[in-house]
Copies of this chain bind each other. A is one copy, B any other.
Amino acid sequence: MSKPHPPIVYGEYLRLDLLLASQSPKSVEYGQPAHDEMLFIVVHQAYELWFKQILHELSSVMALFRADSVDERSIGVAVSRLARVVEILKLLTDQLRVLETMTPLDFLDFRDMLVPASGFESVQFRLIERKLGLNPAARVPLERAEARRTAADAKLLAEAEGESSLFVLVERWLERTPFLELPGYQFWQSYRDAVDRMLETDRRTIEETGGTPEARAAQLTELDVTRASFDGLFDESVHARLVAEGRRRMSLRATLAALLIHLYRDQPILHVPFRFLTTLVEIDELLATWRYRHAQMVHRMIGSKIGTGGSSGHRYLLSTVERHRVFADLDNLSTFLISRRALPALPADVERRLGFYYPRD
């Protein structure tokens, strides 16, 4: 509380000397000033500032989950910090609207001067993807941007590659969570019975609600896929096959733990873990939305021309929208939910242990 610190000045604290000196339009340097280049620079710099903040949050959450036993307070802190990432990602999507006030013709005033630089070179964005845990096998390759990395940036990326991603840390936490032990064999048997009843209902729905024979056949095929998904929950070898086919990534044990958290999230002790899983999916979705809107913006700006970095930015971005999902396994849990009415009841002693100790004292 004592304050031995020297008094602070706003502009010095924020290093405005550096910050506001870091806009250097090429069009000015080359003697053909293009009014809109300043916007182009500021928008990208704002993105990089926010990327730094996202990395700050992700790294701190990963540190919390690297502990041997993840403290329950940590989940609460993690939720707050990831909820902040959610708000930042909403802002970054809205920020595209500002860039879209630049018209294609205005962009052409300085586009050629930036060749071959490209936003795909952003190391911080790549770090965000790695820290979240984007599957390297799923990544759409982008050679040219890779080739242009500085040594320092390549080192940063290699280091990030070396550490356990948030995906891995969350998977490990789920695998170790004691909730999983709770319900026991009997539970999964009842759950499976409930699932079978639900699928049977769906089959009848398809058969009874009309449409051409072809449409019905297609839907019955879809239903078989859903049934196979459930098989993947109960049978390690089916799950292993789905992993091999790239349709699952998270371990079966972790997936079941996450499913339990979803099914019994009304229990006080699961409230915060449920929000945690939900927030991860929200981040994944917002990144996907950002990629989709980004693809739109690039198309509006240059059409199907190649980008300054020599790539068709629009097509590349579109291809990553769904493929670059990190927490698809969590997003996919809805497939396995069954109605509360069909859900097996928890044994009374288990339910008691999922409440708080205090108020009953």
Contact = CB atoms under 8 A, between A and B. Distances in A.
Contacts of A293: 289
Contacts of A334: 104, 299-303, 305
Interface in A188-216: 194, 197-198, 201-202, 204-206, 209-212, 215
A16 interface: yes
Interface stretch (A114-122, A130-138, A164-172, A249-257): A114-122
B49 A9 contact: no
A118 B117 CA distance: 38
Interface string A244-281: 00000000000000000011011111011000001001
Nearest to A286: B296
Interface in A90-114: 90-91, 94-95, 97-98, 101-105, 108-109, 111-114
Interface in A1-24: 1-3, 5, 7-11, 13-16, 18-24
A323 interface: no
Interface residues of A, number: 152
Contacts of A14: 22, 41, 44-45, 48
A281 B300 contact: yes
Interface string A156-179: 000000000000000000000010
A344 to B, nearest CB: 14
Contacts of A83: 101
A187 interface: no
A320 interface: no
Contacts of A186: none
B209 A337 contact: no
Given A18-B22, A117-B9, A306-B223, A1 B288 contact: no
A39 interface: yes
B8 A15 contact: no
A345 interface: no
B112 A144 contact: no
Contact of A296 (B289, B318, B359): B289
A117 B3 contact: no
A313 to B, nearest CB: 11
A253 B124 CA distance: 46
A60 B289 CA distance: 33
B45 A19 contact: yes
The 7 closest A-B pairs by CB, nearest first: A303-B335, A357-B357, A303-B334, A15-B22, A10-B121, A84-B101, A108-B339
